[in-house]
Each structure stands twice: as structure tokens, then as C-alpha cells.
Amino acid sequence: MKITIKQLTVAGVLGALMVVMYFVGISMIPVPNISGAMTIMQIPVIIGAIVGGPVVGLLLGVIFAVIAQIMFGSAWPWFVLIPARLLVGPVAWWVYASVKKAFSRQGEIKPVAAILISVFVSLVALGVWFTTAQGFTGNETTANIIAAFIGVGLGFLTYFLLIRSRVEGSSVSLSAIAGTLTNTIGTLGLAVFLTNTLGETIPKRLVVAGTVAVTNGLLEVIIAVVVCAAVVPPLLKVVGKEA
């Protein structure tokens, strides 16, 4: 695949920004759990993928992975730290491109696409609950009913937000969510199934990983959506899009 000067420029500028973030100390934000930190380093990767395409996203993902390895290589093996970070950019670009295709030429999302995305959101919400609930000690039936209502409610909320939204805002926001969750869930998943750092048994590891995903992942998603929604649309007008 041919890489243009514009794509190289986008990759160079955002890559330099990531290096500066690392040296300044704002790439990882310390948090009081076993992960040690939450990250905002995925944001330049997502922005680069949307503006420059999947190859730019992959190149920036390599920088992300190298920085993560430098920072946490003494505590976590490379096969936990690196793979998910390489996928952040390509996944973010694919979601951005796919969501744009789900909209009509008038800029409104197609109803079938909105329903499918909403169902996916509900299933993810329920999946997170049933994964982390293995350590729950309260009334399991009541908790499951509440979780089901929340999951379905999130699905309906997603549907109504999508049908009222415009193409650029939805595609950028969902891309930011997908890229961030790829990093969070991918890295935690590898930690659960390939190491015993989070616990001696997989159920115990899933509980710890689920807690980290909720505490870190939620904040990471919110920050990524806000920043990407503010930065990407005007940047696309100035730079243009190679994707």
C-alpha cells in the first residue's frame, strides 16, 4: 500500500506528540489499582487512523506499544503489552469507515445499522456484568435483573442517539470508543488468559480485569470521545482524509 507525504506528515506529527507525552509524563495517568495507570496515549493513534488511514494508525500503534513496553516491561510480558496496542489504529479506522457507510447520503444513519449497533452495545454491557459478577456476593437474581435493564436501556439510548446524530459526530465517537476498548479489553484479556498476575484462577482474574476495565476503561473512553470529537472534524477540514 502506497503511503503519501500527507500520511507520513500526520504520522510524524502525532508520533512526535506521543513521544513528548511520554517524556512529559502525561501518557499514562497513575491509578490505585493493579494496572498501575490509565492511558490517554491511544488518542493520537485513533486520530491518526481516522485522518491518515489504517497504515498510519498501525505506525502510531507501534510507537504506543514501544512506549508501553518501556514503561511496564518489567511488570508485564511483551505478549500482554504489545498486541492490542498494534490493533488500536486499524480497528478505529475500520469502525470509522464502517459507520460512515451505515449513514445515508443525507447524513442520517440507516435504521438497520442503528439497531445492530444498539444490540451490540447491550450485549457488551451484559457481557461486562456477567464477567465481573463472579465475585458478587449479594442477591444474584436481583442484580442480574437490574443489569439486564441497564443493558437494554443502554441499547435503546444508543439507538435514539444514533438516529438523531449526524454522520461525522457518530463515526468519530464510535471510532474513539472502539479504539479505546481494543486497547483496554485486548490487553486485559491477554493478561487474564496468558498470565497469572491478576490471580491464580481465570475466574479470579476475570473479576480483577473487569474491575480495572470499568474503572480505567470508562474514563479512558470518555476522555477519548471528548478529545476526538473536538479535534478530528476540524482537522479533517484542514488536512483532508486519506482513509
Identify the CATH number of the domain in which residue 169 sits: 1.10.1760.20
Whether 223 maps to a domain, the answer reads yes
Of the candidate ranges 4-18, 68-82, 195-209, the one whose mean pLDDT is the lowest: 195-209
The residue segments making up the domain with residue 190 are 5-109+165-239
CA pair distance 56, 62, nearest whole angstrom: 10
What average pLDDT does the segment 162-191 reach? 83
Report the residue count for the chain.
243
Task: Please report the sign of the dihedral spanned by the C-alpha atoms of residue 200, residue 203, residue 204, residue 210.
Answer: positive
Whole-number percent of the chain with pLDDT over 90: 32
What average pLDDT does the segment 75-96 reach? 93
Whether 188 maps to a domain, the answer reads yes
* Run of H or E residues at 62: helix 54-72
Q: What are phi and psi of 37, to 5 degrees?
A: -165, 150
Indicate if the pLDDT at residue 57 is higher than 70.
yes
- Strand 37-39 to strand 28-30: parallel, antiparallel, or no bridges (unpaired)? antiparallel
DSSP-derived letter for residue 213 is I
Domain count for the chain: 1
- How many CB atoms sit inside 10 A of residue 68's CB? 25
Stronger pLDDT, 132 or 130, i.e. the higher one: 130
Indicate if the pLDDT at residue 124 is higher than 60.
yes
Whether 136 maps to a domain, the answer reads no
Most confident listed range (5-9, 80-84, 123-127, 169-173): 80-84
Q: What is the pLDDT of residue 134?
A: 54
Q: Given the C-alpha cell 496468558, which residue does it identify?
A: 194
**What angle, 0 to 180 degrees and rounded to 10, lies between the N-to-C axes of helices 42-52 and 83-102?**
50
Q: Given the C-alpha cell 435483573, which residue does it identify?
A: 145
Stronger pLDDT, 74 or 126, i.e. the higher one: 74
Q: Report which of 46, 59, 80 is spatially closest to residue 178, judged by C-alpha positions.
A: 46
Q: What is the pLDDT of residue 65?
A: 95
Indicate if the pLDDT at residue 153 is higher than 70.
yes
- Looking at every residue in the chain, the average pLDDT score rounds to 82
Indicate if the pLDDT at residue 168 is higher than 70.
no
CA pair distance 243, 9, nearest whole angstrom: 15
Whether 141 maps to a domain, the answer reads no
Q: What is the pLDDT of residue 90?
A: 96
Whether 182 maps to a domain, the answer reads yes
CA pair distance 202, 82, nearest whole angstrom: 21
What average pLDDT does the segment 193-220 reach? 82
Whether 158 maps to a domain, the answer reads no
Bridge partners, residue 39, by sequence: 28
Q: What is the pLDDT of residue 143?
A: 66
Residue 2, amino acid: K
Whether 229 maps to a domain, the answer reads yes
Helix, strand and coil content of the chain, in percent to the nearest 5, comes to 80, 5, 20
Q: 222 in helix, strand or coil? A: helix
Whether 127 maps to a domain, the answer reads no
What average pLDDT does the segment 188-211 reach? 84
